[in-house]
């Protein structure tokens, strides 16, 4: 995996070198008037026509499309006109295999007419263009509004076994003119020279309220026979005909692709040679001990006077490329997780003597610190928590470091090579879990990053949060050492939110009498309150309440045979923020 990353990083740098070198060699002819006419004849395929005419036994197939686009551009913006001819074919899907009429006579012969349907669209509208520096590659977004004519599409499917012949599936088709239509189009052009190139693109075309024809003889626009598909009478006509006498003014739309030749017509203008920036500086950030590439490293390029010339952040391969560099003496500095990297220097001579015109430099992370890297989420979800203070501290509180999480909940913090550290999130109305990291479990010569995710529960007043691992000996209510770690989280939460008041509630299982359990749970709740008071929390902010066995979480009430694991679910200590008095 490491070799693959190295290869990708080298390819990235090489690509940057080639790009910069190409820019150096480029002589851009810039017309004094950059406006031009662009004409594109094209051929395409209408992939998915959609006719909303409520005919369940008719599908519309894709077909050939021909078109012509003409645009006039002023720099990026322009106005254009499109003409498109599209041909589709309807297909009757009425189930004729093994078909019987209502009299149970097998129908074995049929007649079918499927008339192609054509659309002619013509519209105008704005165009927007983006092009590369050399102008060889352009992308366009076109919007058109206009009119269309839609003709054909008659489908007539009959059985010819009996007499009189029965009409199975019918649609009268269209002969609509001046239909309000709209088109959106995305196009890419590649120019071989200043006048000709190839064009590729895709479109979406919509026609609004297209009227159907009504057959003048039969007096309706659509009809299909109802088929019974029960097991006993599979594929048998019921004798019921679904007829639509009133034509539907329904929408028609389609999606398609095309290719063509693009011609650019512009006035011959005076040209001037523009010397593009000649030099680039590629900086790679690496770890000194593992050789690992370092993404998200902040890099600054400065002059000898300390003036910042350019700044950037390394990509996922630890590389950042600075373009448009003038040959001079520079110093290169970098920081990762607030730790400075060993910098580098680039001299004027290195730029001038470099054949590729790109000077490559490395900056090294030589600190023996680890970097904890991860994300903080809301507990029991994938929702990240942005702008939460992530607090890192040693167990003896001799070292404390903080940072804010990014918009995606990500964070980075440094820790010493040796020691035990706790990590948690701090934000109003959040109760964070505390994670512990023992740096001695990692080898700095093999690892730089320690990945760690944290979760924090959103605290809403009146909503209980279970405090884990607050366990008591049988029939006892003395706070054990293991429980103090969980209660210390609550101490930290109340110190971080000095205005909140908290109810600490204790619950038992159903074993023993209700009176005994009520007394025991109240004593345990009081013991938890006393511990928080001993840690500096004002007693006025705390309420201890024992609920005994009155709020079981499962079926394990008196008289129900339950396992020890099921009973343990009901033995718990919870906290909830007391809602302020609305009065």
DSSP label at residue 440: G
Q: Using DSSP bridges, classify how beta strands 249-265 and 344-346 pair: parallel, antiparallel or unpaired.
A: unpaired
Domain shared by 216 and 305, yes or no: no
Q: Tens digits of per-residue pLDDT, 114-131?
A: 999 999 999 999 999 998
Domain boundary at 337, 365, 393, which? 365
Domain boundary at 325, 342, 365, which? 365
If DSSP codes are grouped into helix, strand and coil, which group holds residue 13?
Answer: helix
Containing structural domain, residue 451: 370-458
- pLDDT average, residue stretch 363-376: 96
Residue 228's pLDDT is what?
87
Give the CATH number of the domain where residue 527 resides.
Answer: 3.30.1330.60
Domain shared by 159 and 58, yes or no: yes
Q: What mean pLDDT is reported for the chain?
A: 88
DSSP label at residue 247: P
Cis amide linkage into residue 162, ω under 30° from 0: no
Kindly report which listed range (233-237, 342-346, 411-415, 546-550) carries the lowest average pLDDT score: 233-237
What count of Cα atoms within 13 Å lies in the side-chain half-sphere of residue 378? 10
Per-residue pLDDT band for 271 (boundaries 50, 70, 90) equals: very low
Whether the pLDDT of residue 28 is over 80: the answer is no
Is residue 284 a part of any domain in this protein?
A: yes
Residue 447's pLDDT is what?
94
Domain shared by 292 and 259, yes or no: no
Cβ-based neighbours of 371, under 8 Å, separated by 6 or more: 336, 337, 339, 412, 413, 414, 415, 448, 449, 450
Domain shared by 111 and 205, yes or no: yes
Nearest to 167 by CA among 205, 111, 100: 111
Domain shared by 453 and 556, yes or no: no
CA angle 226, 227, 229 (to 5 degrees): 145
Kindly report which listed range (119-123, 385-389, 556-560) carries the lowest average pLDDT score: 556-560
Residue 8's pLDDT is what?
45
Residue 387's pLDDT is what?
95
- pLDDT average, residue stretch 476-489: 86
For residues 177 and 148, what is the distance between their CA atoms, to the nearest angstrom? Answer: 6
Domain shared by 486 and 549, yes or no: yes
Domain shared by 100 and 145, yes or no: yes
Domain shared by 137 and 181, yes or no: yes
Cβ-based neighbours of 479, under 8 Å, separated by 6 or more: 487, 527, 528, 530, 531
Instruction: Please give the C-alpha separations between residue 256 and each of 111, 201, 511, in angstroms, as whole numbers.
Output: 32, 9, 72
Domain boundary at 413, 434, 458, which? 458
Is residue 244 a part of any domain in this protein?
A: yes
Domain shared by 170 and 190, yes or no: yes
Is residue 245 a part of any domain in this protein?
A: yes
Find out whether 394 and 401 touch, Cβ atoms under 8 Å: no
Is residue 27 a part of any domain in this protein?
A: no
Q: Using DSSP bridges, classify how beta strands 77-92 and 117-131 pair: parallel, antiparallel or unpaired.
A: antiparallel
Counting beta carbons within 10 angstroms of the beta carbon of residue 551, is it exposed (0 to 12), middle (13 to 18) or buried (19 or more)? Answer: middle
DSSP label at residue 386: T
Is residue 25 a part of any domain in this protein?
A: no
For residues 141 and 76, what is the distance between their CA atoms, to the nearest angstrom? Answer: 11
Domain shared by 119 and 218, yes or no: yes
Is residue 560 a part of any domain in this protein?
A: yes
Domain shared by 442 and 502, yes or no: no
Nearest to 554 by CA among 509, 514, 506: 509
For residues 451 and 371, what is the distance between their CA atoms, to the nearest angstrom? Answer: 8
21 versus 125: the higher-pLDDT residue is 125
- Our count of domains for the chain comes to 4
Residue 269's pLDDT is what?
52
Is residue 271 a part of any domain in this protein?
A: no
Find out whether 329 and 371 touch, Cβ atoms under 8 Å: no
If DSSP codes are grouped into helix, strand and coil, which group holds residue 87?
Answer: strand
Cis amide linkage into residue 164, ω under 30° from 0: yes
Which regions of 293-378 does DSSP assign to beta strands (E)?
Answer: 298-303, 308-313, 319-325, 330-336, 339-340, 344-346, 358-365, 370-378
Whether the pLDDT of residue 141 is over 70: the answer is yes
Is residue 26 a part of any domain in this protein?
A: no
Q: Tens digits of per-residue pLDDT, 306-341?
A: 999 999 999 999 999 999 999 999 999 999 999 999
Residue 463's pLDDT is what?
81
Residue 232's pLDDT is what?
66
Whether the pLDDT of residue 26 is over 80: the answer is no
Counting beta carbons within 10 angstroms of the beta carbon of residue 296, is it exposed (0 to 12), middle (13 to 18) or buried (19 or more)? Answer: middle
Number of residues that this document lists for the chain: 583
Q: What pTM, to 2 d.p., does this model score?
A: 0.48
Buried b (16+ CB within 10 A) or exposed e, 93-104: ebebeebbbeee
Q: Tens digits of per-residue pLDDT, 201-246?
A: 999 999 999 999 999 999 999 999 999 877 667 788 888 999 999 9
Find out whether 223 and 173 touch, Cβ atoms under 8 Å: no
If DSSP codes are grouped into helix, strand and coil, which group holds residue 15?
Answer: helix
Per-residue pLDDT band for 1 (boundaries 50, 70, 90) equals: very low
Give the CATH number of the domain where residue 415 resides.
Answer: 2.60.40.10
Domain shared by 256 and 149, yes or no: yes
């Amino acid at each position: 995996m490491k070799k693959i990353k190295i290869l990708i990083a080298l390819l990235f740098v090489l690509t940057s070198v080639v790009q910069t070198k190409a820019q150096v060699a480029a002589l851009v002819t810039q017309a004094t008037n950059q406006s031009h006419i662009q004409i594109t004849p094209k051929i395409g395929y209408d992939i998915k026509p959609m006719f909303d005419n409520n005919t369940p036994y008719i599908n519309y197939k894709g077909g050939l499309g021909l078109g012509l686009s003409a645009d006039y551009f002023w720099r990026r913006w322009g106005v254009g006109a499109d003409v498109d001819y599209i041909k589709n074919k309807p297909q009757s899907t009425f189930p004729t295999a093994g078909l019987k009429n209502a009299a149970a006579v097998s129908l074995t012969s049929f007649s079918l007419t499927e008339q192609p349907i054509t659309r002619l669209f013509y519209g105008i509208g704005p165009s927007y263009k983006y092009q590369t520096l050399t102008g060889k590659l352009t992308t366009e977004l076109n919007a058109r509004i206009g009119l269309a004519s839609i003709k054909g599409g008659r489908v007539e499917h009959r059985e010819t076994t009996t007499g009189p012949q029965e009409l199975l599936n019918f649609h009268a088709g269209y002969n609509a003119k001046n239909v309000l239509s709209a088109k959106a189009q995305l196009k890419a052009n590649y120019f071989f020279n200043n006048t000709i190139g190839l064009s590729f693109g895709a479109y979406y075309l919509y026609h609004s309220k297209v009227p159907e024809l009504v057959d003048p003889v039969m007096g309706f626009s659509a009809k299909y026979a109802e088929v019974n598909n029960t097991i006993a009478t599979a594929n048998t006509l019921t004798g019921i005909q679904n007829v639509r006498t009133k034509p539907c003014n329904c929408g028609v739309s389609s999606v398609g692709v095309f290719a063509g030749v693009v011609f650019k017509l512009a006035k011959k203008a005076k040209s001037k040679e523009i010397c593009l920036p000649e030099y680039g500086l590629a900086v790679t950030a690496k770890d000194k001990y593992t050789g690992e590439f370092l993404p998200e490293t902040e890099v600054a390029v400065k002059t000898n006077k300390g003036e910042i010339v350019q700044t950037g952040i390394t990509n996922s391969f630890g590389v950042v490329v600075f373009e448009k560099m003038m040959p001079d003496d520079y110093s290169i500095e970098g920081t990762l997780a607030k730790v400075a990297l060993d910098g580098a220097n680039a001299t004027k001579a290195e730029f001038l003597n470099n054949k590729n015109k790109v000077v490559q430099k490395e900056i090294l992370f030589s600190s023996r610190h680890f970097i904890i890297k991860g994300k903080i989420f809301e507990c029991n979800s994938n929702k990240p928590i942005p702008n939460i203070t992530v607090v890192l501290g040693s167990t003896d509180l001799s070292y404390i470091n903080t940072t804010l999480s990014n918009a995606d909940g990500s964070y980075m913090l440094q820790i010493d090579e040796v020691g035990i550290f706790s990590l948690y999130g701090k934000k109003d109305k959040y109760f964070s879990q505390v994670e512990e990291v023992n740096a001695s479990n990692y080898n700095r010569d093999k690892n730089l990053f320690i990945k760690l995710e944290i979760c924090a529960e959103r605290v809403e007043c009146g909503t209980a949060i279970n405090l884990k691992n607050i366990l008591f000996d049988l029939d006892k209510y003395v706070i054990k050492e293991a429980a103090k770690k969980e209660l210390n989280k609550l101490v930290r939460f109340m110190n971080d939110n000095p205005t909140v008041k908290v109810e600490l509630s204790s619950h038992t299982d159903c074993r023993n009498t209700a009176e005994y359990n009520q007394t025991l749970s109240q004593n345990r709740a009081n013991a938890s309150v006393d511990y928080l008071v001993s840690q500096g929390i004002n007693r006025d902010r705390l309420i201890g309440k024992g609920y005994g066995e009155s709020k079981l979480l499962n079926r394990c009430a008196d008289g129900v045979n339950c396992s020890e694991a099921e009973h343990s679910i009901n033995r718990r200590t919870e906290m909830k923020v007391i809602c302020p008095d609305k009065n």
